[in-house]
Amino acid sequence: MNAEPRLARVAAAMADPTRARVLVRLLDGRLHTAGELATHAGVGAATMSAHLKLLVEEGLARVRPQGRHRYFGLADGDVAHALEALLRLADGRDTAPAADLRRWQKPEMRGLRHARSCYGHLAGELGVLWREALLAKGWVRAAADGRYELSAAGHEALAELMPAGFAATGRMLYDCVDWSERRDHFAGPLAVAWLEAMLAQGWLRRVEQSRELRLTPPGRPALVERLMGPLPVAALSGARRP
């Protein structure tokens, strides 16, 4: 008898509604305790422990012990990209554009569409426009094997978003198809470093119990006007769409 295909086991691990909620929560790129995830999913501690054990065993999540706590996150970027692809598929990527637009105009989805974290990097309308601005300004340029690299001008212009001693070499920046926009935003370690810096600078802030990010009043002149330049006002305003 043939062994069960690995794909079937991974798919089964993702298919449970509670585990699916946990995986989508972990798409914010941060580490969470089992208690936090249990509260988010609406289940008890013992139930969540069993779910997390399976996710770790199947290579979908990782655990980091620290003191008395154990913190959980997605296993890696490949898992994050697979989840984003499944979210697009679940939304009906082949449905009529009008139906897709109506979904993202719902009040509970507008903020998530405007800006969110995708495994630690900036996604949504703001993420797509950030990528387009960096390419248009020549601060980022295409390299080999689907990678991107910073130009000399980019190193200088984005210095405040670069951690001290950060070496942008190798596959540090690449495209990721955006769940809501169906266009690319930037992913990779460099994109993660940029978002962490934007949050540390107070240009963006997280929304509790969500992947949503909100542009702050200081972020408008610092991120939008100075770094991104003249781009569609409606998409950058952070205001909820009618």
Could you read off the pLDDT of 153-179 as tens digits, one per residue?
999 999 999 887 777 666 889 999 888
Domain boundaries, the chain: 6-75, 96-236
Going from the C-alpha of 241 to that of each of 104, 133, 185, 214, 234, the distances in angstroms are: 10, 22, 21, 14, 8
Alpha-helical (H) ranges within 96-208 are: 97-104, 107-114, 124-136, 152-157, 189-201
Q: Among 96-100, 173-177, 186-190, 208-212, where is mean pLDDT lowest?
A: 96-100
Amino acid at 209: Q
Both structure tokens of 184: 């690319």
Going from the C-alpha of 36 to that of each of 65, 69, 110, 177, 209, the distances in angstroms are: 15, 11, 25, 29, 9
Q: How many CA atoms lie within 13 A of 149 on its CB side?
A: 10
Q: How far apart are CA 212 and CA 218, in angstroms?
A: 18
- Confidence (pLDDT) at 29: 85
6-75 placed in CATH 1.10.10.10: yes
Q: Can you tell me the mean pLDDT for 185-197? A: 94
Q: How far apart are CA 79 and CA 181, in angstroms?
A: 20
Average pLDDT along the chain: 85
